Homo-oligomer: A and B are copies of this chain.
């Protein structure tokens, strides 16, 4: 405690310590600690009477152990850090994070963890920096990492360190514990479905990012197509979605596709609107499939046929995995710390039989 402390905090006396509780209950500080932690074990046995007395004082004063001190003394704090590479709450990123955080929050409630949001991390080029000189990861027992893209350098550093963490979403980096969505199999199924409906002219428009979740969807698309017919796959355009409505529409038209796989629902939405403008009937003349749930911002959209990643469950399971790691360390088998959850396939109304 620095010297100036008292002068600054004269008004509010220092927080309640075990020592003070001990005085009040007429026991030693160690006894208080024993009671607080409900230790009955090996060497300590506190008579019920004493325990009651201490407990009473404890409750009367609403004592809570200083988590910093506890942590320093080597106990887990039941505190889980949540690091998001972008601000978690704003509308722009709300769709992405909200569902995940809903799951995390619900599970935290169940498992009795509090959540520490690392909002103080300095923002660099619009993204928060994980390892900055004053990073406070250690405040939490372990941490959840959220973000469409996560720096592989960060992941490597975490993997080689001893700090428990779990990434939400599959990651390429070796030995990273994660819980992700199984986009590959999901997209394969969607491709099969379209194929069986007679579609042969496909188009995949994906987002312009290196994120694993996007790569997986592309991979699923390629695998699905090649399982159906490798020669058709070779003629199937797989492109980054254009940025404007018009350019998107050009991509669709010039591809001659009967079904568009628009990874991003926002793109599906724009294409749908352009289709209306150009008097193209969706889905009778053009089927549209999207590979994630549409945001509430595009509520007027049709009920897109789509892949629905189980975002709430992803959040919940990530926390569950982290809790396991905290308790018993990283599992031996990769399969036990790299989990892929199946995506739901929503039938929707925008994928119908191809016209002959």
Contact = CB atoms under 8 A, between A and B. Distances in A.
Interface of A: 1-2, 5, 8-9, 11-13, 15, 59, 62, 64, 66-69, 71-75, 77-79, 87-91, 94, 98, 101-102, 104-106, 108-109, 112-121, 123, 131, 133-139, 157, 161-162, 296-297, 299-300, 329
Nearest to A107: B119
Q: Which 6 A-B pairs have the closest CB atoms?
A: A12-B162, A68-B71, A108-B119, A89-B102, A1-B74, A115-B117
Contact of A138 (B64, B115, B162, B297): B64
Contacts of A119: 105, 108-109, 113-115
A161 B9 CA distance: 12
Of A15, A67, A102, A118, chain B has the most CB atoms within 10 Å of the CB of A67
B329 A12 contact: yes
Contacts of A296: 296-297, 299
A70 to B, nearest CB: 8
A136 to B, nearest CB: 5
A101 B120 contact: no
Give the number of copies in the complex.
Answer: 2
A328 to B, nearest CB: 9
A257 B233 CA distance: 65
14 contacts: A2-B75, A12-B329, A15-B162, A62-B135, A64-B139, A67-B138, A68-B72, A89-B105, A113-B120, A114-B117, A114-B120, A114-B136, A116-B116, A296-B296
A124 to B, nearest CB: 12
A60 to B, nearest CB: 12
B114 A87 contact: no
Contacts of A138: 15, 64, 66-68
B109 A120 contact: yes
Contacts of A67: 68, 136, 138-139
Given A69-B72, A123-B109, A136-B64, A102 B87 contact: yes
A162 B329 contact: no
A67 B137 CA distance: 8
B114 A78 contact: no
A133 B8 contact: no
Nearest to A68: B71
Contacts of A120: 78, 108-109, 112-114
Given A74-B2, A114-B116, A139 B79 contact: yes
Contacts of A135: 62, 64
A71 B94 CA distance: 33
A51 to B, nearest CB: 14
A182 B284 CA distance: 52
Nearest to A13: B162
Contacts of A8: 329
A212 to B, nearest CB: 24
